[in-house]
Amino acid sequence: MNLFTLSWAYIRNRKLNTFLNTLLLALGVGIVVYLLVITTQLQNKMQANAKDINLVVGAKGSPLQLILCSIFHIDNPTGNIKLSDANKIASNKRFVKKAIPLALGDSYQAFRIVGTNQLYPEHYSCQLANGKWWHNVMEATIGSEVARQSGLKVGDTFHSSHGLDGSEDNRHEEQTYKVVGVMKPSETVMDRLVLTSIESIWAIHEHHEAAAMPVIPIGPSTKHTEEHHDTTSQEDDREITALLLTFSNPMATLMMPRMINSQSNLQAASPAMEIVRLFDLFGVGADVIEYFAYVIILIAGLSIFIALYNALKERQYDLAIMRTLGASQNKLFTHIILEGLLLAAFGGICGLLLGHGAVELTSALLDQTSQVSFKGWQFLTEEYYIFAGVLGVGLIASLLPALQTYRIDISETLAT
Amino acid sequence: MFQLTGIRYNYTTTHTLSFPDWTAAQGDRWLLTGVSGSGKTTLLHMLAGLRQPTQGTAIIAGTNLYTLSGNKADQFRGQNIGLVLQKPHLLSVLTVEENLLLTQYMAGLPQNKQRIAEVLSILSVLEKRKSMPHQLSQGQAQRISIARAVLNLPKLILADEPTSSLDDVNCMRVLDLLETQAAACGATLVIATHDARVKNRIANHLHLESVQTVLGTL
């Protein structure tokens, strides 16, 4: 027997009340934790995916769409840009450190197929789990998630389909991809991509000359650096979807977007700016829900206060008895405070579990259909503060009832 | 064992009770009688340190009770004084055994389930150890409250109308228990009562006169 077990006995005795308090607190804390974990993981993931990419060049349209499409691969392209235009930008040695071309449009089982060069996986420090990087036309190196979910292994072949929804209706039956490598998990968007050469994408869409297609170098530092004289004439008709740029010079941040946007058929979008804009957009909704959650927590605190305050009248005799048994006034004070803290802690723990459970559930529901995934059991330091705040609510809620114990006249109480 | 001198208690500025000086030896049994309103309960509570008199001193087991600080007085009461009230009033959220563990804990004494079992079996309610108070009969509950009063081997047992709500059989049984338990731990026993059934059993009486009102300043 100690003050903990004593307080716990009273909490246990008020089952319905305790249930209500716990439910309210758990709900409030759960929502706050859920929003916190989701936005933090989303932001971290987005930042990891956008890392060091200063600018995305693509066809005119919504800049947010261009970013969502080219960096996170969760939207459709705004259109295509001419390879010659892209090459012009990529060869701007003064500003451009690295230029990664992307050719999008096809997918396999809802996993996007990206025509690109070796710089792309290198940018995310991807490594091979087995096999090799793609080299020839219609070779593909696949991400770890793609391999896990589709069951593709090195040596397997597959057909791509048009679009991003993975439907079988728009299958490109004429051309067959061959898996030559599987990447190690990198916790980036790479895990969910099928990488191939740009020539493969071209080959599928202009299949009549695919086999004869020469390898075209794009950007200043691709691996295929040999020049092919006979290709210059063809370059004008060739198109890619977007170009990811890293700058070599801070001046570029000012100069490049203006330079690119002045060309009528191109637009430049900054991932950093668009991510901020995106979070501003759905941040408003999240804020409203979060304030709502704080109101619930406040009501939970009020509910704890009312429970303790009301119980105090019934417990006056119990408390007087404890005094006759030798309990000091401070001990009774601590006893009531402890009850508030225990209730708050119990509700808080349930809330943490609820929030993380909801994240895990969200992740399980999203996993099959989306590029986004969450980790439910990853805890953040902010949650300590939330928990401390909840204990604070319990403390404040029990303070007044606890102070009331000092005013109990034992002799009067026992005499009635 | 205890010695009360010059005890006066002001209810209001015009309504004052003054009590006779009273001395008892260790192991004595006393009956405190008087009509309702004569201050039996007030005196008993002052003897237990639950209420401070306006004037006067109480030396209990060699300790000057009213000079102790709050916490010290609480601890002294927990360790030296056992209280039996008119109604048993066990804590309803705890089992019988937990109620008694609480009695040891609140007095700042080590918790000893063996001692609890011993007392409960003497009072023949051992089988109720794990029961909740609402599962007990009135007689059983009163016996548990006696167990609570004697558990810490107090030097002084104070009983306030312990028999008034009991039938004759239970009344005698409770008195037997109080007397034997007080004797077993060598405690001084004081029973405040207006119950005529009790009067013949105990030799030492302190009779409080009816309301003593003193007007004006003293």
Lookup: tokens for A291: 């304030």
Residue A59's region, left for phi above 0, alpha for psi from -120 to 50, else beta, is beta
Is-contact B32 B44, C-beta < 8 A?
Answer: yes
CB nearest to A321's CB, from B70, B91, B101: B91
Q: What is the mean pLDDT of residues B124-134?
A: 94
B57 strand-pairing partners: B5
- Residue A210 pLDDT exceeds 80: no
Which of A49-63, A193-207, A369-383 shows the highest mean pLDDT?
A: A49-63
Q: Is the Cβ pair B98, A9 closer than 8 Å?
A: yes
Closest CA to A90 of A115, A66, A56: A56
- What's the CA gap between A3 and A305, in Å, rounded? 19
Quickly state the pLDDT bin for A75 (edges 50, 70, 90).
Answer: confident
Superfamily of chain region B2-207: P-loop containing nucleotide triphosphate hydrolases (3.40.50.300)
Q: How many CB atoms are located within 10 Å of the residue A227 CB?
A: 9
Q: Is the Cβ pair B78, A326 closer than 8 Å?
A: yes
**B79 contact A CB<8A:** yes
- Nearest 5 degrees, angle CA B138-CA B139-CA B142? 85
Lookup: tokens for A56: 């995305």
- What's the CA gap between B9 and B17, in Å, rounded? 5
CB nearest to A326's CB, from B75, B89, B94: B75
A239 strand-pairing partners: A82
- B residues 131..160 contacting A (CB < 8 A): 148, 160
pLDDT at A369: 52
pLDDT at B101: 96
Q: How many CB atoms are located within 10 Å of the residue A38 CB?
A: 18
Write out chain A residues lying below 8 Å of B92, CB-based: 13, 318
Unique residue bearing structure tokens 């295509």? A80
- pLDDT (tens digit per residue) in A287-298: 888 899 999 999
In chain B, where the domains are located: 2-207
Write out chain B residues lying below 8 Å of A325, CB-based: 78, 102-103, 106-107, 148
Lookup: tokens for B176: 């037997």
Write out chain B residues lying below 8 Å of A13, CB-based: 92-93
Which of B105, B132, B134, B155 should we substitute to test contact with A (largest number of A Cβ atoms within 10 Å)? B105
DSSP character at residue A218:
-
- What's the CA gap between B26 and B5, in Å, rounded? 17
- What's the CA gap between A215 and A225, in Å, rounded? 9
Inter-CA distances, A223 with A134, A197, B141, B218, Å:
12, 12, 91, 111
**B37 contact A CB<8A:** no
- pLDDT (tens digit per residue) in A127-150: 999 899 999 889 999 999 899 988
**ipTM score of complex:** 0.91
CB nearest to A318's CB, from B42, B83, B91: B91
Write out chain A residues lying below 8 Å of B106, CB-based: 322, 325-327, 331
Lookup: tokens for A191: 């895990």
CB nearest to A325's CB, from B51, B107, B160: B107
Q: What is the mean pLDDT of residues A270-281?
A: 87
Q: Show the beta-strand stretches assigned E in A69-175.
A: 81-82, 96-108, 111-116, 128-131, 139-142, 157-158, 161-162
CB nearest to B85's CB, from A10, A326, A414: A414
- B residues 107..136 contacting A (CB < 8 A): 107-108, 111
Unique residue bearing structure tokens 């809620």? A397
- Residue B217 pLDDT exceeds 90: no
How close is the nearest chain B Cα to the Cα of A4, in Å? 12
User: Under DSSP, is residue A130 helix (H, G, I), strand (E, B) or coil?
Assistant: strand
- What's the CA gap between B139 and A129, in Å, rounded? 79
Q: Is the Cβ pair B102, A324 closer than 8 Å?
A: no
